[in-house]
Every structure is written in C-alpha cells, then in structure tokens.
Amino acid sequence: MVHRGVLIVLALSALPGTALDGALPKIEERARHQTSKLPAHVCTQTVDRAVRKPGEATPRGQDRLELEVTVIDGKERFARAGGQKFEDRELRDFIQRGVISTGGFALHVRHVFHPGAAEFKPKRETEAGGRKLLRFDYEVPWENSSYKLAVPPHESVVAFRGHLLADSETFELARLEVIADEIPRELGMDRSRTVIEFSHLDAGGGRHLFPVRSEVPVAMLDGFEYHNRSELSGCREYQADSKISFAAEPASAPAPKPTEPAVTRLPSGLLMNVQLDGEIDLRSAAPGLPFLATLAEPLRDNNGSVLAAVGTKLTGKLVRLELFEAPLDRYEVGLELATIEHDGKPVEIVARLQDSGGGSGAIKQRKEFMPVFDKKRSNRFDVLARGSGRGQGTLYWDAKQPRIRQGYRMVWLTGGEASDSVR
C-alpha cells in the first residue's frame, strides 16, 4: 500500500500553568528569546524524504524538497525555494504526496514551553561531545495539546511526550524530542517522532540559535515507515535583504494605506469546513446554548482566493434539541452559525449545514430512503435527512453517546441575504 495523502504534523499553543525546577524558567526564557527572533529571519529548508516498505531493511530515497520558511503572525509560513511570496495556505496544499511535517522551525518549541502545556519531570544531568547538558522529560496530555496529526481525510489532536536537552551554563536548547504514540487507528499511524537539534548560524551580521536539523520518522500500522530529514541553511534577516509577502499581495510595492476600512464580501455558494472548539453535552444543553468553532480549512472564493484563513473564529448556537425514543434513542440537534470573524470583529453570516463528520454517536443521514434498521452498519440506524430552517442544520445523535466532542467537523454552505453583504 502506498500512502498518497499528505501527513501534516502541527504544533500549536496550549493552556496556562507552572514549572518545577529552578533551571527550567531559565531554559524557557532563553527559548522564548530565541523564538522571538525567528520571525525576523527567512531560512532555506531542505527536506530529504525516504520510505521503507514492509520487508525492506533500510529506507529508500523518495525525493528532496527545497523550501523557504519563516514565521508570520505566529504561524510557520512556507514558499518554494527562490520564491518571494509566502502563501496564506497550508503546506499540504502545494505538497501533494508523501509525508511532510511542520512545527520544527518554531511551533514545537513554543508549544512545549507554553505556560502549563507540558508536565515536566525533575531534571537529569548528562554530557554529549564534551558539553554538559540538562535533560528534562515532559508530557503534554491530550487536554493541553494542539498537536495535530492528519492523514486526509482524517485528522486528530493527540497527546505527546519527549525530552529536551539544554546547555547547563547558557541554558540554550540543544535538542528537543517530540513523540506521539497514542494515535486514533483511523489515521493508520502507529508512531510519530520528531527530533530537533539546535545550533548557531550566521545571519544578519550576527550569530543566532536556529533549529538546524530535524529527523521525523513515522511508522504506519501497515508496516510502511517514512523518514524525513530537514536541514536549515542560508538564514537571513528579511528586513534587510528579502521581500516577504503573501501570494495575494503585490510583490513590487507595499499596498497603500486605505483611507477607510476595506469592504469584503462573502458570496453565496461557498463551502466552509469548520470544527467545534469545545464539547457539547446534550444531556445538559438547551436551545440557545452558544458554541464556538474555527475554520479547519481556508475559506476560498470561486476563484480560489483565500477569504478567511484556517483558525478563523465562528460562533453559533443550538436552536433545537429534542430527545426521541423510537426506533432508536436519539437526539435531534438543530445548529445555526451566527458570526464569522473579519478584521477582528464578528460579522453576521448565514449558512446551511451540508455534511458532518462520523464522530462517535453520529447517526448517518440518508437523502432518499425512509428510516430503516441496518445491522451491518456501525451506527445501527439511518434516518431520512429533513430540511432545516434558513441558515441552520440538524444532527442526529445516539442518546447512548450524548456528547459531541471537541474537534467535530462540519461542512456549511454560505447563502442568504446576510452572507451576500458581509462588510
């Protein structure tokens, strides 16, 4: 079996808390100082990819990718080598096959040191290459994690663990390891491991600490193993000798300052792939309950231009919640999206639910057949999907599993007066 889907390893921010050891705050301070300087730099990243098939002793080279990487607005951004534009889209949108990872340039470090994300164990002392190092093992539980593994069409946030090594005198990072091995089976992955090594490079007339090398072996459940080896080179300060822009912006000159706020219109007929930001417990919920969601994929217009990036916030509410007993104990959950974030402000939106994920408890909907029992289906029951009100959608949910989990995916179609005149 050849895995043609792109696998993305992401690391994002998490939740607040405390540290355990006197050296740890110093390492954290140095790490924050280091990552704060990265947005001022662009580096060339070379990725050698290899795959070991079942029965083979060693991995075989697959291809080499050459990219430019930087940090813009707190996110790692990539461009093709030699390009001048960093595109406002996911790396997987233009790397169409094989295994690829993000997070090694800055996000893994930020995630581990985000206050309260990781649970650190007491330090140990070690030595490598004549250098005295401090070692801290850590774990990031699922509830604190925003580390995402994806093998399209499936993706999941997972817990992870590992260790870090830091210089015992300067407290600078020397190595960071990230291991994920509690992975939902639908992803087809057994284990992912990322090892990042840090060293100083010349850039912008000085020497700065960079994540110069990383190794990412990924083991699949079917016996395939993918190996990525990345190296940084050619780092430079982009204020001095590089032009950084998103693809939608002109590269030749800065955009003029508008004299009044620009107007953005959200046309009808656009698909929004969203995911819940929190859990909805149907046992205690009631109509009117608000919920939060984010865009799981960029929202694009009919020409492919990005109107709203991944992570854009949306709000909604429950408009109906009913419990039925026959022929299967089930909830019928009416949802409505209310606003989407635009220029930092909530803007009214009208959209209708088109499709939803197969989370635990979701009951499959049919568009043509009457409700029937089906013992061969895991959901045990199919229901005839009925129309919802303007700008609404209905989920059918098994009453024995009454929680709609965080991360549940839904696809909504824009339409209606409000979404035709968003400003």
pLDDT digit string, tens, across residues 140-163: 998 888 888 877 777 888 899 999
* Residue 380 pLDDT exceeds 80: no
Q: What proportion of the chain, given as a percentage, has pLDDT over 90?
A: 18
* Residue 218 pLDDT exceeds 60: yes
Over residues 89-127, the pLDDT tens digits come to: 556 655 656 666 666 666 788 888 888 888 999 889 998
Which domains does the chain show, CATH number per domain?
8-241 (2.50.20), 271-420 (2.40.128)
Over residues 222-240, the pLDDT tens digits come to: 999 999 899 988 888 765 3
| 90/170 Cα distance (integer angstroms) | 35
Average pLDDT over residues 30-36: 83
pLDDT for 320 equals 86
| Number of residues assigned to the chain | 423
pLDDT for 358 equals 63
Over residues 320-335, the pLDDT tens digits come to: 888 887 667 888 888 9
Over residues 295-311, the pLDDT tens digits come to: 988 888 777 788 888 88
Print burial letters for 255-276: b (CB count within 10 Å at least 16), e (below 16): eeeeeeeeeeebeeebebbbbb
Q: Are strands 381-384 and 365-366 parallel, antiparallel or unpaired?
A: parallel
DSSP letter at 19 equals -
The whole-chain average pLDDT of the chain stands at: 75
| 63/52 Cα distance (integer angstroms) | 13
* Residue 363 pLDDT exceeds 60: yes
* Residue 192 pLDDT exceeds 70: yes
Q: Residue 347 to residues 178, 263, 343, 358, 411: CA-CA distances in angstroms?
A: 39, 12, 9, 29, 19
| 167/170 Cα distance (integer angstroms) | 6
Which of residues 350 and 19 earns the better pLDDT score?
350
pLDDT for 78 equals 77
pLDDT for 269 equals 83
pLDDT for 120 equals 92
Over residues 381-394, the pLDDT tens digits come to: 443 334 445 567 88
pLDDT for 77 equals 76
| 26/199 Cα distance (integer angstroms) | 18
* Residue 422 pLDDT exceeds 70: no
Residue 30 tokens read as: 């140095």
| 270/303 Cα distance (integer angstroms) | 11
Q: What is the pTM of this model?
A: 0.53
pLDDT for 240 equals 37
* Residue 13 pLDDT exceeds 50: no
Residues forming a β-bridge with 127: 132
